Amino acid sequence: MTILGECFCGEVKYSIKGKLRDAQSCHCSRCRKAFSSQASAYAMVDANDFRWLAGENLLTSYVGVHGFGLQFCSKCGSTLNGVYKGAVHGVTLGCINGDPEIELGRHIYVGSKATWEVIAQGIPQYQEAPPATAE
Ligand SMILES: [Zn+2]
Ligand SMILES: [Zn+2]
């Protein structure tokens, strides 16, 4: 399958030939800031499956303390993807066009969710990191 994604202004576009995996939503305070939202909505991708189609020159990166970075469109501010050690690590689900054929599999760091958030029931929730997984 081919998954297409783009930012809000449409200048930055990418394609993924393959499947996303490990879609999850992290409710920690850092992800709230990074994703400007109640939580992250993010899935991992094989870097070899990922291609920028347009606007790669518009990307700005912010690499945090753990070496994990986010890339966003410098024109409209959409956060498009995560990078780790220079390679694309995953994508934000919000910038995907259409159905990526994956659903959120879990909510993590629910113990530090925003006071104003109400999380929909139905999939596993973890107060912190799920077993044997780093954030
Ligand atoms: Zn944009
Ligand atoms: Zn988080």
**Dist. CA 33 → ligand 2 center (Å):** 9
**Dist. CA 109 → ligand 2 center (Å):** 7
Residue 135 has pLDDT above 80, yes or no: no
pLDDT tens string 5-30: 999 999 999 999 999 999 999 999 99
Mean pLDDT of the chain: 94
**Beta-carbon neighbours within 5 Å of ion ligand 2:** 26, 28, 31
Q: Regarding predicted confidence, which is higher, 73 or 86? A: 73
Cα-based distances in Å from 89 to 16, 80, 123, 126, 134: 12, 11, 24, 22, 14
pTM metric for this prediction? 0.89
